[in-house]
Structure 1
Amino acid sequence: MLLFLGLAAIIASFVLNNPQSPLQRLSGTIRVIGIVLLILGALSKAVVQINPGQVGVQSLFGNVKDNTLKSGLNVVNPLVEVHEFDIKTQNYTMSGITDEGNKGGDDAIRALSKDGLEVTLDLTVLYRIIPERAPAIYRELGKEYRDVIVRPIARTRIRDLAANYEAVSLYSSKREEFQNKIFDAIEKDFESRGLVLEQLLVRNITLPQSVKLAIESKINAEQEAQKMEFVLQKEKQEAERKRVEAQGIADYQRILTSTLTDRLLKYEAIQAQKALAESENSKMVILGGKEGNLLITP
């Protein structure tokens, strides 16, 4: 702006430097002012400040210079134009929720799965510019590179890879594998165009309603089967416990039977009959055995 004002002032001074002009005496002053403005304008254009997290790309009459300007103060040709590029981590979101993504309205990605079903995906791409590649990006794509690189590449790669998976597997068992393959494919494309892909987030996968109902039914059936398996396992454990308990009782009885002798049995019988004889309710006790009977009265 100062350059234009200074140039205008100098031109005006020459116009006023006319003997017939009543303002001729001011032409010299105006010329000096114009020169001062030109000098100030040149100085202001020659020193450029680049903000932190940015690099500057210089263009002179349509020619883009390959070197970039770093953050801080830089001395440049006053005639060049400086375009700042953000080299910090940026995100580009494509979502079906209104106003959540970079584009207004429903911007979710719709792709066909291997089994011919339409799958809807919400995606966030985290990326940054390689500083040294900023001049090439500006030269080849301009400052709207996100709509030229980030958006179309991400959407195309997702559609291409989704065709290799069945819809249900994308929703469940193959989701992480699918995301990793997308990352690998997009990373190569980004790198060749001067971008670094830092992270890719498949935030949501929506299946057709009929498939969702089928999945819910399958999950309920699996949960019921797991419940029955638990009950059967518990019953088996209880049956095993009873079998072990019965075996223990049988073993005990077998051992006890094998260790009893006639003397021991006779001794136990005498003790029992003695206790009976000593009872107040007993009237008569008959002791019997192979040797004969013995009558005992209280």
Structure 2
Amino acid sequence: MFFLILGILFLLIGFAINTPSLAFSRFSRPAKVLGLVLIVVGALSASVRQIDAGTVGVQSLFGRVQDRVLQSGLNFVNPLVSVTEFDIKTQNYTMSGITDEGNQTGDDAIRVLTADGLEVVIDLTVLYRLIPTEAPSILREIGPNYTDKIVRPITRTRIRDNAVYYDAVALYSTRRDEFQNRIFRTIEADFRKRGLTLEQLLVRNINLPASVKKTIESKINAEQEAQKMQFILQKERQEAERKRVEAQGIADYQRILSTGLSDRQLQYEQIIAQKALAASPNTKIVIMGGRGNVPLLLTDK
């Protein structure tokens, strides 16, 4: 466009100085030739537009948006059109309570009210991309800044709308995946109406109020203590069972001895034990009671 305007300027100068009475009228013809050359070069350069990879171009002529989308590469267009490029690669928009972590400076976390009236702070990342064929409609109806006009407000609104169906503790623990799937479906439908595709919704963090956190920690500690007590009781039951089996074994042994051994057998076993004791090298004198309680002396000599 610069060469085109410069060529037109030189051409006008050439016609303006084409007067024999002027001292520099001899430059009229060269100015006209240079102007025509610049106009041709400008027209050719303005007619060729390069669209980078991962983007598409939307043409507008005198404020009117054209429906034809320019793909990546070289494209021949009207020299007078204005081309606006749109990124069609996957983009992310993060809303976080940590400073400089999200797209907005400062605390940009989403604060929602749950079904039990508690305020929960949610950090979220949205992965989305623009539908190439919808780029002209986005330029015509929304403009290039569709992130702040569509992605941010729709996401924050839908999260607040769906959080009221869950309690704070359930939102934090058992029903977190259900909540994420629910808001994904609602946001995806809204994005598609606006020419965007929602690829993934990442609930990065859910912060509960301090009082709720203390309640959860107390509940967890109580559950751990209960599990510990169950372990101790189980161990004591096993120890009691072991002692019962041991006592039963001793009782059975005593019963067998009391019913199965006769006096003669006991006397025989006693004699064998005494003989073994007398044969021991450390034994010198052994005194035993004999029949009729008559002492019997056994020596190793």
Distance 2:263 2:177 in 1: 78
In 2, are the aligned partners of 1:273 and 1:287 still within 8 Å (CA)?
no
Kindly tell me the number of residue pairs found equivalent between the two proteins. 294
Q: Which moved more, 1:261-270 or 1:128-137?
A: 261-270
Distance 1:78 1:253 in 2: 115
The residue aligned with 2:120 is 119
1:122-161, Cα deviation, whole Å (9 max, x unpaired):
1110111122222222222111111121101110111011
The residue aligned with 1:151 is 152
Distance 1:77 1:53 in 2: 23
Following TM superposition, by how much is the alpha carbon of 1:294 offset from its aligned partner in structure 2, in angstroms?
6.8
Distance 1:246 1:184 in 2: 67
Spell out the pairing of 1:54-69 with structure 2 (5 A cutoff): 54-69=55-70
Share of identical aligned residues, percent? 65
- TM-score normalised by L of structure 2: 0.88
Distance 1:255 1:200 in 2: 76
- Residue 284 and residue 231 in structure 1: after superposition, are their counterparts in 2 closer, same or farther (change >3 A)? closer
Spell out the pairing of 1:60-209 with structure 2 (5 A cutoff): 60-209=61-210
Following TM superposition, by how much is the alpha carbon of 1:88 offset from its aligned partner in structure 2, in angstroms?
0.9
Distance 1:187 1:261 in 2: 94
AA aligned opposite 1:104: T
- Residue 89 and residue 255 in structure 1: after superposition, are their counterparts in 2 closer, same or farther (change >3 A)? farther
Distance 1:256 1:35 in 2: 132
In 2, are the aligned partners of 1:126 and 1:199 still within 8 Å (CA)?
yes
Distance 2:52 2:256 in 1: 94
Following TM superposition, by how much is the alpha carbon of 1:240 offset from its aligned partner in structure 2, in angstroms?
2.3
The residue aligned with 1:3 is 4
Please state whether the residue corresponding to 2:178 is helix, strand or coil: helix
- Residue 158 and residue 267 in structure 1: after superposition, are their counterparts in 2 closer, same or farther (change >3 A)? same
1:185-228, Cα deviation, whole Å (9 max, x unpaired):
21122122222211111112122222222222222222222222
Distance 1:136 1:59 in 2: 12
- Residue 162 and residue 295 in structure 1: after superposition, are their counterparts in 2 closer, same or farther (change >3 A)? same
AA aligned opposite 1:38: I
Please state whether the residue corresponding to 1:96 is helix, strand or coil: coil
Following TM superposition, by how much is the alpha carbon of 1:234 offset from its aligned partner in structure 2, in angstroms?
2.2
Distance 2:35 2:290 in 1: 149
In 2, are the aligned partners of 1:50 and 1:71 still within 8 Å (CA)?
yes
In 2, are the aligned partners of 1:273 and 1:285 still within 8 Å (CA)?
no
Give the aligned CA root-mean-square deviation in angstroms: 2.3
AA aligned opposite 1:107: D
In 2, are the aligned partners of 1:54 and 1:88 still within 8 Å (CA)?
yes
Please state whether the residue corresponding to 1:18 is helix, strand or coil: coil
1:96-117, Cα deviation, whole Å (9 max, x unpaired):
1222111112111111111111
In 2, are the aligned partners of 1:277 and 1:285 still within 8 Å (CA)?
no
Q: Which segments of 5 or more consecutive residues in structure 2 lack a partner in the other structure?
A: none
**Is 1:280–2:280 an aligned residue pair?**
no
Following TM superposition, by how much is the alpha carbon of 1:121 offset from its aligned partner in structure 2, in angstroms?
1.1
- Residue 11 and residue 213 in structure 1: after superposition, are their counterparts in 2 closer, same or farther (change >3 A)? same
Following TM superposition, by how much is the alpha carbon of 1:24 offset from its aligned partner in structure 2, in angstroms?
2.0
